[in-house]
Chain A
Amino acid sequence: MSSTNRTVVVTGIGATTPLGGDAASTWEGLVAGKSGAKPLEQEWAADQAVRIAAPAAVDPSEVIPRPQARRLDRSAQFALIAAQEAWKDAGYVGKAGESPAEDGAAHVDPDRLGAVIASGIGGVTTLLDQYDVLKEKGVRRVSPHTVPMLMPNGPSANVGLAVGARAGVHTPVSACASGAEAIGYAIEMIRTGRADVVVAGGTEAAIHPLPIAAFGNMMAMSKNNDDPQGASRPFDTARDGFVLGEGAGVLVLESAEHAAARGARVYAEAVGQGISADSHDIVQPEPEGRGISAALQNLLDRNDLDPAEIVHVNAHATSTPAGDIAELKALRKVLGDNVDHMAVSATKSMTGHLLGGAGGVESVATVLALYHRVAPPTINVENLDPEAEANADIVRGEARKLPVEGRIAALNDSFGFGGHNVVLAFRTV
């Protein structure tokens, strides 16, 4: 196969999410239909209109030693935890090129290794906390680590340093599509021959009074403060906005040749990405899903993917009134009757919306759905929106088995403020 069209596979997964501190516990929570949402009990939450969120199930301070943690933004801490899990899961140990030969660890040339980790907002808690330090304690007390902590490429750079990536370290930023765009970028790096292995995903840590107030004032978040676990309800008629989540999801992507040569376990093929931009509004989704349709069409045009094989969609579906339906209309428009055999799941009903982390965590969920042949449920759908019912088969309440035989494929949709649309496709091998 030519160096410009190489097959890419997933050989490692890692996550730290509102449902669990690793990919396995996150998956268990997803299949069980658990919600990670909770009341915000911090003092600052008292006068917020939104007083619920989905915090990470395992605080990163329990995992990362304090001297290291104090120089990493929370978003970089999540990224590092998920990346190290994925890296180990793929069979790699320590920095590329440095692992001792006798321990059986897999080998990758650092010059052929990349890292692409994205977030939507970057080190927002660091920026705001250090501004508080500046105001309250003065110039001298502002941490000298502030800049590397708040820069949006911080998570990517720290993951790149941890694994020894020298082929390129990148940070695509496209709001809530960032994590998916990172994985799409990584697939292209491998497909076009720039790298053999890329650690890729998304992270976010924005549970802080300013983002909560700002998203709340945009009317983007659920104000169902009395029922945190029932607040994120994609496709339900009573949906009133998303619940903010935090955490990270990371994949190790690898050229099929590289994975085969070292006898790696392969979770799925990363078939490719479809991308478009709405050119409609800075925050409102285009109501008919025109941009989403274009991304789906782009995916089909540029990749060898048979819509008949697609049996599962991890929808973007954040639980906002307009966005959820536009997405389903686009699926119907581009994929036609094939949508009838697709189990559509909105895992944000359980994890909340991890913004730039969503594409990473939901790619982990999509890959595991194929690997285990199970579609996680959409919880909290009590009254299915008739427009949702008319356009797609929503997996409601309980997880659903996917076809046990044959090659199956799944999509992961991610869309972001600014009109960014990214659709990733994965397939069993």
Chain B
Amino acid sequence: MAATQKEIVDGLAEIVNEIAGIPVEDVQLDKSFTDDLDVDSLSMVEVVVAAEERFDVKIPDDDVKNLKTVGDATQYILDHQA
């Protein structure tokens, strides 16, 4: 069953918490991975791989650069999840 928006944001929050140590409640739709959440380019790759696994979705490298905010990633997963 496809994940809801809330489930995706909660899942991304757990992933970002694990990788960057940011409190889960700080991971909100409007937050930028780089500017707000301490996720640099290498860690973004980790976030993407973890999200792929969790939400059963493929996120090609070319699409990763468009995922600036948690909202961008959430929408991408909503649109592409199996």
Contacts and interface: CB of A to CB of B under 8 A. Distances in A.
Nearest to B19: A67
Interface of B: 18-21, 38, 42-43, 45-46, 49, 52
B49 A65 contact: no
Interface in A62-89: 65-68, 70-71
Contacts of B46: 143-145
Nearest to A140: B49
- In the complex, the 4 A-B pairs of residues with the closest C-beta atoms, listed nearest first: A67-B21, A144-B45, A144-B42, A67-B20
A262 interface: no
18 contacts: A66-B18, A66-B21, A67-B18, A68-B21, A70-B19, A71-B42, A71-B43, A140-B49, A140-B52, A141-B49, A143-B46, A144-B42, A144-B43, A144-B45, A144-B46, A145-B42, A145-B43, A145-B46
Contacts of B45: 144
B61 to A, nearest CB: 10
Interface of A: 65-68, 70-71, 140-141, 143-145, 148
Nearest to A141: B49
A143 B48 CA distance: 12
A269 B78 CA distance: 64
Contacts of B42: 71, 144-145, 148
A337 to B, nearest CB: 59
Contacts of A144: 42-43, 45-46
Contacts of A145: 42-43, 46
Q: Main secondary structure on chain B at its contact with chain A?
A: helix
B12 to A, nearest CB: 15
A70 B20 CA distance: 10
A148 B52 CA distance: 24
Nearest to A67: B21
Contacts of B43: 71, 144-145
A145 B21 CA distance: 16
A361 B25 CA distance: 43
Contacts of B19: 67, 70
A67 B19 CA distance: 5
Nearest to A146: B42
A68 B21 CA distance: 8
Contact of B21 (A65, A140, A148): A65
| Most chain A beta-carbon neighbours within 10 Å: one of B18, B20, B49 | B49
A141 B49 CA distance: 7
A60 to B, nearest CB: 16
Contacts of A67: 18-21, 38
A90 to B, nearest CB: 28
A66 B21 CA distance: 7
Given A66-B18, A145-B43, A148-B42, 7 more contacts: A65-B21, A66-B21, A67-B18, A67-B20, A68-B21, A140-B52, A144-B43
A144 B41 CA distance: 9
A427 to B, nearest CB: 44
Contacts of A71: 42-43
Contacts of B18: 66-67
A21 B18 CA distance: 26
A148 B45 CA distance: 15
Contacts of A141: 49
Nearest to A66: B21
A391 B46 CA distance: 57
A143 B38 CA distance: 17
Nearest to A148: B42
A66 B43 CA distance: 13
Contacts of B20: 67
A65 B18 CA distance: 11
A158 to B, nearest CB: 14
Nearest to B41: A144
Contacts of A68: 21
A65 B21 CA distance: 8
B60 to A, nearest CB: 11
Nearest to B52: A140
A167 B19 CA distance: 32
Nearest to B20: A67
B18 to A, nearest CB: 8
Contacts of B52: 140
Contacts of A148: 42
A67 B43 CA distance: 10
Contacts of A65: 21
A133 to B, nearest CB: 11
A349 B25 CA distance: 50
A167 B61 CA distance: 37
Nearest to B44: A144
A68 B38 CA distance: 11
A409 to B, nearest CB: 46
